[in-house]
Structure 1
């Protein structure tokens, strides 16, 4: 298939492009502005990754988040005629729960970012119900590894601290908050599996996660893998912060997807090897 990938030069986008090529698909890169009328090239499918995605920033400028994440999605949908469409969404659309979240779990966005993604999800689902497209939404949990550059993300920040490229990191609360981590290569594989299963007139949603771990687990693993300590400043927990966000990925596994490089130690080691200024003295195992 010829597959247009928006956000193809980004962190997840580069991994998706490589995975498409490995599976014999032809990626087509998009450099169009999402805020303008969208001209669709001759493609069989669109994987829509381009978005603004910083939770705290979204509180300061919610309008721009809706403009990019909702109106931008709308502009692409207007150009589609019978193609498959895959939307990258987020696990933060859910109401937090101590139990693993399924695709049927209640959505309760807690930020303008997650609310804009929930709105885009609805838009895509209604477009599929009309019979004009085939649609699949992938709700990504905490993507990590592969040389990620975004030090606002916990694993990336902790590894960067160990490497000495950032001065330290703030941890809010006691470090017991649990999140679901998944390697970017496993995310890319999920997009290809979902693409091949998608068909016109249908709409599906899949969680993409792999390994539940607390912030303290991350700090401990980074220290073990790198042999270096992480300079942490402990701060009071944010009011209302979710204690646990874990993904049930049974539906995605039913398509044949399996996470292959998302053990916490493997994610941390991969990020360390990709970002450390020189080989670290971490212990061999």
Structure 2
């Protein structure tokens, strides 16, 4: 199958082409403003499916709206008609097509042209009125508030918001691409005469800014947001894609002494905390128990032993651990426990605990195993 993608170098186009390649579609005819214009005629002769994503949304002159969003659509459809190619055509429109402004009117004109083309030729057409699309590779400080907020906050640049309570309807780029590929396979989500992405997120501008700001602060706080919330998960992925390339890495505070080190790696509001414990040769750490707090220990390097004792018992349970055989050991509440390095090198242990450490309520009681 030969797939024509106009606007191939745009935000949606780049994401779509990348995923088409991932799914085995390699015969893609890419067309954008840098392509030799005459190639559109050749591509329209060869295409088996058309994704028409090209458009104008930030012109120097408002007259360019109609030229780009209506005029090029007319050129595309004329070329298809010339070659009697009635393959399916998808067009990227906007919810602003319902509004009386130059951009919206140009998008509405492109829609109407496509519907008339379908009546004339019998070709299947798919018109998507997208709300605000966000995700990786979207150009900041252009026409996406989310991209601008992510980029500017990540780069310590100012942002401007006139009304934090203003509601935005957002669709995530991966959801858009999934829908477009469904359309390629004849499984588009159609409501009345328009097609749409099934998952739309409604959120205020103020909430978006608060979330993105919390993402920036999370590196210093060693925290991870609640990933069970779909919009939070998608915004967090988007924010990370705008990090300065020389700032992907960030330091952790290593609490060091003659026994080794203990370093908090990740804190979460609902899934506990992950830390890295380094023990020197012959060192024993621990000898404490918890009421409710529970832990999982995973030795990833070195060799040692973990001993546990129920606090009302004399029986000591012994588990030998090694980075050569990765096993997770649960530390239940009510068992005092310690870990001892038996090897000749440092022993590294990944430790998960079901709640982040709270100095006011440590739930930690020191008793020898």
Report the TM-score when normalising by structure 2.
0.56
What SS does the corresponding residue of 1:213 show, helix, strand or coil? strand
Aligned to 1:274: 241
C-alpha distance in 1 between matches for 2:91 and 2:229: 22
- The count of aligned residue pairs is 230
C-alpha distance in 2 between matches for 1:36 and 1:222: 44
Matched, 1:211 2:201: yes
Higher helix share: 1
Deviation at 1:121, TM superposition (A): 0.3
In structure 2, the CA distance between the partners of 1:184 and 1:172, relative to structure 1 (3 Å rule), is same
**Alignment partner of 1:128 out of 118, 123, 138:** 118
| Cα RMSD (Å) | 2.8
Deviation at 1:34, TM superposition (A): 9.5
Deviation at 1:262, TM superposition (A): 9.3
- Computing the radius of gyration from Cα coordinates, the structure with the larger value is 2
Higher strand share: 2
How is 1:239-250 mapped onto 2 (pairs within 5 angstroms)?
Answer: none
How is 1:128-167 mapped onto 2 (pairs within 5 angstroms)?
Answer: 128-152=118-142, 153-164=144-155, 167=157
Aligned to 1:171: 161
Cα contact 1:177–1:214 (8 A) shared by 2? yes
Cα contact 1:46–1:83 (8 A) shared by 2? yes
Cα contact 1:143–1:181 (8 A) shared by 2? yes
Residue ranges of structure 1 left out of the alignment (5+ in a row)? 94-106, 229-260
In structure 2, the CA distance between the partners of 1:119 and 1:198, relative to structure 1 (3 Å rule), is farther
Aligned to 1:232: none
Residue ranges of structure 2 left out of the alignment (5+ in a row)? 219-227, 251-264, 269-369
How is 1:1-285 mapped onto 2 (pairs within 5 angstroms)?
Answer: 1-25=1-25, 26-31=27-32, 38-41=40-43, 42-54=46-58, 61-80=61-80, 81-93=85-97, 107=98, 109-152=99-142, 153-164=144-155, 167-173=157-163, 175-197=164-186, 204-208=193-197, 210-227=200-217, 263-277=230-244, 278-279=247-248, 284-285=267-268
